Amino acid sequence: MTTALTIISTLLWWVLYSSMAALVFALIGWSVMRWAERCAVVFNRIYLACLLWTMIGLLLVVGVAAYEGHLHPPYAALLSSGLLRWALVLDMLIGTALLWGLVPRVDARRIRPGSACMAVAAIMAVSFGIATSLA
């Protein structure tokens, strides 16, 4: 019973933290895509794409941290890991694919892949800046 409650609690915290981060990332992505597309984009679809992207990204980073044994602070050794760098590249590709595939403009046309790349780059720059200041 304790194991089941632990798993349920972990899943709830995973979704809660992912949704909080996805809201911040969606605000950044919305402003970047609105600027890059020169047209309004649908915010709730950006939030959905960022939520899925954040949930996948958290799994990737925790998987790398568990594989390398850096589950507890300080995380400086994890940030200099080559495997984490490859996982972040994969994470950016996943984020670009999700944003490009899920986010329409208000005129029901798909956004350009370059706009999705710009949004992912801005989001990753902000999140990596926050991560390095906390480590």
For the chain, how many structural domains are there in total? 1
Whose tokens are 């956004």? That residue is 111
In-domain check, residue 1: no
- pLDDT tens-digit series, residues 111-131: 999 999 999 999 999 988 887
Give domain status of residue 11, yes or no.
no
Domain span including residue 33: 17-134
Characterise 109 by phi-psi region: left (phi > 0), alpha (psi -120 to 50), beta (else): beta
Residue 28 resides in a domain: yes
| Phi and psi torsions of 111, nearest 5° | -70, 160
Residue 10 belongs to a domain: no
> Is 9 part of a structural domain of the chain?
no
Assess if residue 4 is contained within a domain: no
For the chain, the average pLDDT equals 92
- 0.85 surpassed by pTM: yes
As a whole-number percent, the residues of the chain with pLDDT over 70 amount to 99
Does a structural domain hold residue 55? yes
Which of 36-45, 69-78, 97-106 has the least mean pLDDT? 69-78
Does 12 fall in a domain?
A: no
Dist. CA 51–CA 68, nearest whole Å:
26
Torsion sign over Cα 93, 25, 128, 84? negative
